[in-house]
Structure 1
Amino acid sequence: MADKTIMLVCAAGMSTSLMVSKMQNAAKDKGIDAEIFATAASDADEKINTENPDVLMLGPQVSYLLKDYQGKVDIPVEVINMQDYGMMRGEKVLDEALKLIDEAK
């Protein structure tokens, strides 16, 4: 089991798959043991219960879910910066996720 589990949510679970790959590469380069995965918004509640993520990162296209998830989970929830998402800056998104996890401890 990884030290940290990062869950990304997008509309269909497809557009974040490249972001997951970029984040996994950044984590590997930094020597960070992290499980990073993406899921569709329709499957997010089930995945939260089964995977127990440390942080929930929402794709910009589902930013409208922010308040909903902040009200029902006790882990950090944040919308991925639109520019970082659009440019597929996996390292920056990973750094933000790790910062949120550390701040929650």
Structure 2
Amino acid sequence: VNGQVLAQERLLGAKKILHQLHNLKSPEKLQARSYVVPGPNILVNGRISPSEEKIPFSGQNDGPDLIFMHNNVATTNCIIDNVSIVELIDLKMAGSLGWRTVGIIHRRIITP
């Protein structure tokens, strides 16, 4: 993301899948930053922090990069075949977010 290497890009097949996701355009009904399937009780169960939850919808995320993002390409969400990622699972928190938004989350929350 913006020249920053994410840990997930080091997994075989991750770069290809991330580029495929990048090429998906959000449907017209999702032309605002949104989650397709918000995770139930996402703040209560500790999956994300309150500060991470606010980033996608803050005023600083008004860039033109609105595309579908998985938003959690952790190894536990990757189906691997022959040492390469072939599928992503767990679409909780996936949605129309964009590269800039996910980059901000990674820089501020995941890898500060």
Greater strand share, structure number: 1
Structure-1-length-normalised TM-score: 0.28
Which is greater in Rg? 2
Pick the structure with more helix per residue: 1
Pick 1 or 2: higher relative contact order, CA cutoff 8 A, min separation 6: 2
